[in-house]
Amino acid sequence: MSSEKIKVSRYATTSFFVYSYLILCCQVVKCVIPEEPVKCSNGNSDCTVTNGYGSFPDRSSCRAADVVYPENEDQIISYVRDATKIKRKIKVVTRYGHSFPKLVCPDGEDGLIINTKNLNKTLKVDTVQQTMTVQAGMVLKQFKDEAAKAGLALPHSPYWAGVTVGGMISTASHGSSLRGLGSSVHDYVVGLTIVGPGDGVDDYVKVRRLSEGDEDLQAAKVSLGVLGVISQVTFKLQPLFKRNMSFTTEGDSDLEDTVLSFGQQYEFGHISWLPSQRKVIYRIDDRVPVTTFGDGVYDFVGFRSMPESVIESDRSSEEEQESLGLDILKCQQTEELTTALLAIAFGLTNDASNAIHGHFLYSSCCQGIVQTAECHFSCFCAVFLSRILPLRKSFAVVGSKLGFISSTLVLLLLISRNFTGYPVIGYQNNIQASGGCLDENQLGYCAWDPRIKGRFYYSNGFTIPLTKVNGFIHDIKQLVNLYPTSLCGFEMYYGIVMRYVKASPAYLGKDEDGIDFDITYYRSRAPLGPRLFGDIIDEIEQMAIFKYDAIPHWGKNRNVAFIDAIKKYKDGQKFMEVRKRYDPLGLFSNKWTDQILGLNGDVIVKAVGCGREGLCICTDDSDCGPGYECQGGRVYKMARVCRKTNNCP
């Protein structure tokens, strides 16, 4: 794009915003917590099942005849018994349903959904043994805070606080660490109860209470939901501690050399790699004594509530960039985004009381509960952005060197005034995970809420053995050298996030120490819609899975990542034996779980355009759809990706 096309005069820009200020009128910004993934047309019957993003990888939805909401184990037993008697399919759904693949779908339309949202109670806390037993439907946000009240802490967890206890262990969710037992949540499980089908002798239901020493526990820890309903889980916790956290930015020239040593140096460290900017953001994150001064909070900006119009404005801008091929503008925007994120430390605050006050003030201002000068300013900023920034899409082609940055980040810069500098020191429960948009006291929506036209994306997550990480990083750098603007789309979603994962004894846990690469990127709402550098992104996916033997995250990814996945686990057959023993009729399995476990065909879905949707690896041009050809990779020659017929990347 020529420099003339991206120039906007300072006078014109200023005039636009002054005019916008004069015509500004107030709007109500409402609070909307995420909806449930199950919707029924007749009470709790005739139901549709989806996930928290409103779409599975194949863009389909699932059906179920009924949904039930047990509150205790006895009710679970009753529901499983009744369904087993008539050989009815059963699947478990969590409160927010944040798995991308179709783990929650019962086959056909006659199945039963067991929703665990009411299984959210603490059953026992033993401060001497440092254990805590909770119902499996408890959300991480509640779990970490209840543990802290007892002076205890779960040392590792995923960063999103909206996952449930049962969901995060069943999909092998994790944080970032190579120390101790590692960062996988399931490796801190010392007991669980699972309710599954039985035969007539068992009155059609079987309750198994597993504890340390039971070999089956290694299967039940990461079960993908195919062994039964987990009713309760016991964790071995640690005394509550604090963490000392800061971010620092460096060039990526020596990333291959530093990636291993960095993971060994810091207990909770992770890396955000911005390959097109050739930068690395290191999260320096270590444990400190609980007596260390500091009461900081990590309220990650990507998980905060935002006004609907602001979210939709960002999405509209992103869609225009992708559809019009505005890669240079996207890269400029990501650089500004990175600057803004670093300025607010990604949502870190130094004082918990100020952070809470900030959220309350912002909410109360716009509702008229509080009337102060600061209040009017904060509310004005929110309303101004939600009204005016949607209009900026007409400037998408010309862009701006003056900074048409993400409206979300502009708003966050205006309302995030509680970060005063590094280091930020805070209690584990206030640092380890966040989920501001789960809070009914915050205004707006989660950015990905399917009820609005917000973020819609793919989420790839895979773990590469430590011994092979250097080669993977090197290959990505080669792609960036060939096409410098190709991976700016990753950077709109905080870059390639690299988390450290330790080998696990769980049958479907990691067999080797490795680094998990989390890559989030644009997905078109229209099937076969355009994606900037889609072929480069798909090459990276295939490169990871096939060249570097990556293990896919069970709760993320597109179909391609799961090709022959079960064969990569040394104890995969042991898991399959337990599954056959626990559920010989396969009532808790579905087509998807059978495919990823190698029981019923493979995960490939052949259809026009399947190669661009990640449902297949293209073998001919028809797998790519109109305007694309199936070609080899640029660096990983064995890849087969869909490339535009004009040979433009």
Flag the least confident range among 26-40, 291-305, 624-638.
26-40
Distance in angstroms (rounded) separating the CA atoms of residues 253 and 157:
30
Distance in angstroms (rounded) separating the CA atoms of residues 581 and 564:
23
Q: What pLDDT shows up at residue 414? A: 54
DSSP string computed for 272-286: EEETTTTEEEEEEEE
* 127 φ/ψ sector (left φ>0, alpha ψ -120 to 50, else beta): alpha
- Mean pLDDT, range 40-60, rounded to an integer: 96
Number of helices (H), then strands (E), belonging to the chain: the values are 18, 24
Q: What pLDDT shows up at residue 31? A: 63
3-state secondary structure 586-630: CCCCCHHHHHHCCCCCCCCCCCCCHHHHCCCCCCCHHHCCCCEEE
Q: Are 145 and 439 in contact (CB under 8 A)?
A: no
Q: What pLDDT shows up at residue 518? A: 99
Q: Are 272 and 496 in contact (CB under 8 A)?
A: yes
The token pair at 403 is 């900074």
Distance in angstroms (rounded) separating the CA atoms of residues 408 and 365:
19
Residue 142 scores a pLDDT above 50: yes
Greater model confidence, 388 or 287: 287
Query: Strand pairing partners for 209?
Result: 193
Q: What pLDDT shows up at residue 646? A: 73
Q: Are 540 and 476 in contact (CB under 8 A)?
A: yes
Structure pTM? Answer: 0.90
Distance in angstroms (rounded) separating the CA atoms of residues 103 and 243:
34
Mean pLDDT of the chain: 89
- Mean pLDDT, range 615-628, rounded to an integer: 97
Taking only the tens place, the pLDDT of each residue in 384-413 is: 444 444 444 333 333 333 334 455 555 555
- Mean pLDDT, range 554-583, rounded to an integer: 98
Q: Which domains are delineated in the chain?
A: 38-115 (3.30.43), 122-239 (3.30.465.10), 457-644 (3.30.70.2520)
Name, in order, each residue with C-beta under 8 angstroms of 376's C-beta and a sequence gap of 6 or more: 365
- Mean pLDDT, range 22-44, rounded to an integer: 72
Residue 161 scores a pLDDT above 90: yes
Name, in order, each residue with C-beta under 8 angstroms of 138's C-beta and a sequence gap of 6 or more: 119, 120, 121, 122, 164, 165
Residue 4 scores a pLDDT above 50: no
